[in-house]
Amino acid sequence: MTDQNAPAQTAKPSLRHRIKDEFVQASLLALYFAAWFCAIAFFTFAVLREEAIPITPFGLAIIKAGLCAKFMMIGKAIFPLKVDANRGLIKSIFWHSIVYLLIVIALSFLESGIDGLLHGKSFLESIASFGRGDPIYITSIAIMYWLILWPYLILLGLQQSMGDEAVHAILFGSNSKE
């Protein structure tokens, strides 16, 4: 008797197919992060009510999104998500969310240093001034980043547990004609 909910076993895909798959996954993840990071940058300018909204933070947000996507893909390869049915999805992905959050925070500090260099400041001084050096601001950004990661990790967990086709059908409907 077979488990109808288990993902179907398929032949190992070719190297070309795996590279294409990785590229598509990284691109979609970069777009997801870019949308969030640009929204956060825009929100920051809206709260501060700055006269002119500079373009540099949005460019850096898009670059950071691409870097985050690449590091997430590397992190996924080094620290693969393993969903344990006995522990459930949320408990299975909790520590992954912390590791990935640390990656995003590290890249945010790096972004601050690069932004400082572009504005004629020292790299280390700029890193130290990330979040205006305000622990409450840095904590709030960390919480937002952590919440951004959860849907991505839940999607990965569902894909691992149910298979890509089942998750795609749940999210976008079935491709079969009725």
CA dist., res. 16 & res. 19, Å (int):
5
**Looking at residue 1, what is its pLDDT?**
44
Kindly state the helix (H) or strand (E) to which residue 36 belongs, with its residue range: helix 15-48
**What pTM value is reported for the model?**
0.69
- pLDDT, mean over the chain: 82
- 3 state DSSP class of 123: helix
Residue 132 identity (one-letter amino acid): R
Q: How many helices (H) and strands (E) does the chain have?
A: 6, 0
Q: Domain extents for the chain?
A: 15-172
Asked whether the predicted pLDDT for residue 147 surpasses 60, the reply is: yes
Per-residue pLDDT for 2 more than 50? no
